Structure formats: C-alpha cells, structure tokens
Amino acid sequence: MDDRKLPLPVPEAARFYEEQYFRQWWMNLLLFGGLVAVIFGPLIELYIGPENPTETWTILITFTIFMLLLIFFFRRIRLRVWVMEDVIHVRYWPLVFHRVIPLAEVKKFEAVTYRPIVEYGGWGLRGLPGNLVYNVSGNRGVQFEFIDDKKLLIGSQRADEFADAVRSVYDRA
C-alpha cells in the first residue's frame, strides 16, 4: 500500500483497510458518451456551416472542458475505510474529507446486503440525515447504528471481513 496516494497515511496498526472507487461500466459509458456527444455536436454544426462559428467554438470548448472536468472528478472519487483500535476512519474523497467514528458511539453493527438503487437511490453519498450511506459499488456493506439512533451504512466489497475487524476491537472500546 502506497501511503503517498492517501491524504492521510493508513497506520500499520490498522485492523482492516479497503479502498474502493466507482467502477460501474455504465457510468463510464455515460461519461465518455457525453464527452463524445459534446464534441461531435458542435463539430457537425461547424461542418454544416453555422451562422456564427465563434459562438459554436466557444460552446464546443466550454462543454468539452466541463465534461473533461466531470470525468476527472468521477475518476478521482475514492472511498477509503480503515479500522483502528478504538475508531473507524472513513474518507470519501473529495466528498467527505475525513470522518472519524468512535466505537464508543456505536450501539450495534452488522454486515448486510442491501439494494442500492431501491433503498438509497444509487451509489455515492446518499440518504437523509440520520440514515446515510457511503458507497461506490456493489450491494454489500456494514450497517452501523449509533447510540443517538442515527444510522450509517458503509459499502464494502469485503463486508464480512470489515465487520469482523470492527468486532475484534468493538469489545475493547
């Protein structure tokens, strides 16, 4: 694991570490398809011969830059989770910079299978205050319920291993 990639280094003492990123094929198709449409629409208009080529070039450049920034943004999103002796660190960069969850505030937790689209409207930072989900892909995660009855679901490709790591330190917290 290369610590230079992480905004916060993951300590060697971490019981569990996972890094996830958006990898749905349809999301890449939409983003790159949008880029192609943004580029070729104005190019076709330029080929046909617009009344105002300067305006068309401005639109082409503006939308191309916007789409490239959007693609760059989605390719950079990372969900990083690591379990330490008394806390869970969650970094959903660049959406949530760093959240530290003290295990003393956790009432209960369990590895779950859920339906991302039906239950939360898809992947990403979703939900309502008091019932949030951080996920990037898949349909597995660890559901936490806190002593103030708020809930947080953290998506994981290794949900059982994540829950076991929390369980191994939960009794000591």
**Can you give the residue ranges of every domain in the chain?**
14-173
pTM value is 0.73
- Residues 79-102: what's their mean pLDDT? 87
CB 163 within 8 A of CB 142: yes
- Residues 136-164: what's their mean pLDDT? 94
Listed residue (6, 3, 70) closest to 38, CA to CA = 70
pLDDT tens digit sequence for 64-86: 888 888 778 877 788 999 999 88
Rounded to 5°, the CA angle 36-65-55 comes to 85
- Residues 18-47: what's their mean pLDDT? 75
Phi (first) and psi of residue 121, to 5 degrees: 85, 15
Range name among 47-51, 120-124, 152-156 with the lowest pLDDT average: 47-51
Residue 164 has pLDDT above 50, yes or no: yes
Residue 52 has pLDDT above 90, yes or no: no
Handedness of CA 144, 88, 128, 24 (dihedral sign): negative
- Amino acid 2: pLDDT: 44
Rounded to 5°, the CA angle 73-79-83 comes to 160
